[in-house]
Amino acid sequence: MVYGQILHRHIPDGCFINVNVGGFKQQMEHNILKRFPQTRLGRLLCCSSKEAILELCDDFSPSEMEYYFDRNPRFFCYVLNFYLTGKIHLVDGLCVVSFIQEIEYWGIKERHLDFCCSTKFHELMELADDKSWDQSSDELQLHSLDSSIEELSASEDNIEMFEGSWCSDVRRNIWLRLENPGYSTSAKVMAIVSLSVVIGSIVTMCIHSMPDIHQMDLNEQKIENPVLTFFESFFVLFFSAEFVLRLAVAPSAKKFLCSPLNIIDLMSIMPFYVTIACDSMDEGENTDLENVGKVVQILRLMRVFRILKLARHSAGLRSLGATLQHSSHEVGQLVLFLSVGISMFSALIYCVEKDCQESELQTMPIGWWWATISMTTVGYGDTFPVTLAGKLIGTLCIVCGLLIVALPITNIFNKFSKFYESRICLSY
């Protein structure tokens, strides 16, 4: 390939410029540069002052009329060939990102890339984009870990906050044992006890929902089993003592109360105390509190938050929460695709089934329900098409649902795997 040696031919003085690129010197004719006036060297011909020239080059010698550029001299050979042929070629061994930076510096557009290098250029660009996305995703996942990970690892920043505070040594030791199960044997024992209490509380809550467990009072009204009530009170008192102790020894009370896991802990114990207060108010039979019973039932249902307390002892649950947090774009796309598909197939199934008396798909809302359970491949079987056209539409709906649901799953799974690996590393 010829890279510009042809420019060494004799040309009249004043019709060329001297270019020095990283020690590589070359005379370039004005007429050749004027063919590409938007490039950096072409714009030099229009400069009328030294200040304007220095905006386009690194240095300038008026006596020799020589322009200095602190750039890659090897790549400049390809730039010379571009001025001669009007086409730029890829440089062997040069990173595609560096190649783009070089052509942008010299003012050469991607459209000037020769056809022989165009396909390879786009392949390298796609590969670079994929690596850049993976790298940025890794950095985001490693640097955006939530407060639960900071608590689990007992980071150095938290430990340093104890310095100069009251009972710093005692609080630090308690904090490490409560927040980092791998700190010592006693810390592991405390973590096992806390996990056992959480599981016991969940089991008690499930047993409490069984009608055979309840007892009758003298007025033949259902009352709670005293054994379950005792265990319920014990579990809540344990959770309360644990929460108060962790709050007392926390290096920063504000940061502690803003932690998602600590908010879950608080929400799991508050319904118990609010229920007691509501029950005492309900005993007064005040007419203004006729809905207290409903409030109490709602508060009792809030005990389900205790299940989320398992996240404190499970890296998988924390990874799932972080994955959903950082996969909002993929989840949003999934919801959008499903919404469009459900709307379309519900309208189609309504049109073909509305005249059939045996079909239950006689309204659009029922069509929405059928399309939802079909696209998500749940298929309860409570509603189904009976006509031939309806069955064909149902088949197409199921196939489209499989494709739509499968599209974002790979990205979400990859994020979950990376979050889980990072949290496992921090656990040890």
Indicate whether 198 and 156 sit together in one domain: yes
State the amino acid at position 171 in one-letter form. Answer: R
Indicate whether 127 and 169 sit together in one domain: no
Contact status, residue 362 vs residue 368, Cβ threshold 8 Å: no
User: Domain for residue 262, yes or no?
Assistant: yes
Task: Kindly report the CATH number assigned to the domain that includes residue 257.
Answer: 1.20.120.350
The answer on pLDDT for 285 being more than 60 is no
Contact status, residue 385 vs residue 359, Cβ threshold 8 Å: yes
Indicate whether 183 and 209 sit together in one domain: yes
The answer on pLDDT for 220 being more than 80 is no
State the amino acid at position 388 in one-letter form. Answer: L
Indicate whether 169 and 246 sit together in one domain: yes
Residue 175 Cα distances to 183, 249, 250, angstroms: 10, 6, 7
User: Domain for residue 67, yes or no?
Assistant: yes
- Report how many domains make up the chain: 3
pLDDT band at 418 (very low <50, low <70, confident <90, very high): confident
The answer on pLDDT for 108 being more than 80 is yes
What is the predicted pLDDT for the residue at 279?
A: 66
Burial class of 259 by CB neighbour count within 10 A (0 to 12, 13 to 18, 19+)? middle
The answer on pLDDT for 95 being more than 90 is no
More confident residue, 179 or 7: 179
User: Domain for residue 206, yes or no?
Assistant: yes
Q: Is the pTM of this model over 0.75?
A: no
Task: Kindly report the CATH number assigned to the domain that includes residue 20.
Answer: 3.30.710.10
Indicate whether 305 and 361 sit together in one domain: no
Rounded to whole angstroms, the Cα distance separating 90 from 93 reads: 9
Last residue of a domain, one of 115, 137, 159: 137
Indicate whether 173 and 276 sit together in one domain: yes
Domain span at 59? 5-137
Indicate whether 133 and 156 sit together in one domain: no
H or E stretch at 223: strand 222-223
Indicate whether 183 and 288 sit together in one domain: yes
Indicate whether 272 and 247 sit together in one domain: yes
Indicate whether 182 and 111 sit together in one domain: no
Residues 167-217: pLDDT tens digits? 777 777 887 777 777 677 887 888 888 888 878 887 887 787 777 777 766
Rounded to whole angstroms, the Cα distance separating 355 from 389 reads: 12
Contact status, residue 417 vs residue 358, Cβ threshold 8 Å: no
Indicate whether 248 and 275 sit together in one domain: yes
Indicate whether 57 and 102 sit together in one domain: yes
H helices of 155-290, in order, are 156-160, 168-179, 185-208, 226-249, 253-257, 260-282
Residue 239 Cα distances to 74, 197, 265, 274, 304, angstroms: 70, 8, 8, 15, 14
